[in-house]
Amino acid sequence: MDFLRPDLQERLMKEHFEFRKLMEEHKSADSRLGDLQKKPSLSAKETLEEVELKKIKLRAKERIYHIVQEASKRAEQ
């Protein structure tokens, strides 16, 4: 995630439970997607799983972005 500075990520991983949970969720979904994308073809069930994993990643990334924005605003004050 290009909007996430390493120093801020490290701090939020330590201090922000929801952020940490979302990062783990995003990473897990990304890993499973990678497994699915290595397959030459997907079953109908796997195709649905792929779509759901992409939605999970997007929702997590959007929420992570908002948490980062809030943290950055607080740091500026």
| Average pLDDT of every residue of the chain | 95
What pLDDT sits at residue 3? 80
> 71, exposed or middle or buried, with CB in 10 Å at 0-12, 13-18, 19+?
middle
Work out the pLDDT band at 28, boundaries 50, 70, 90: very high
Work out the pLDDT band at 2, boundaries 50, 70, 90: confident
**Where do we find the tokens 């073809």?**
41
Mean pLDDT of 56-65: 97
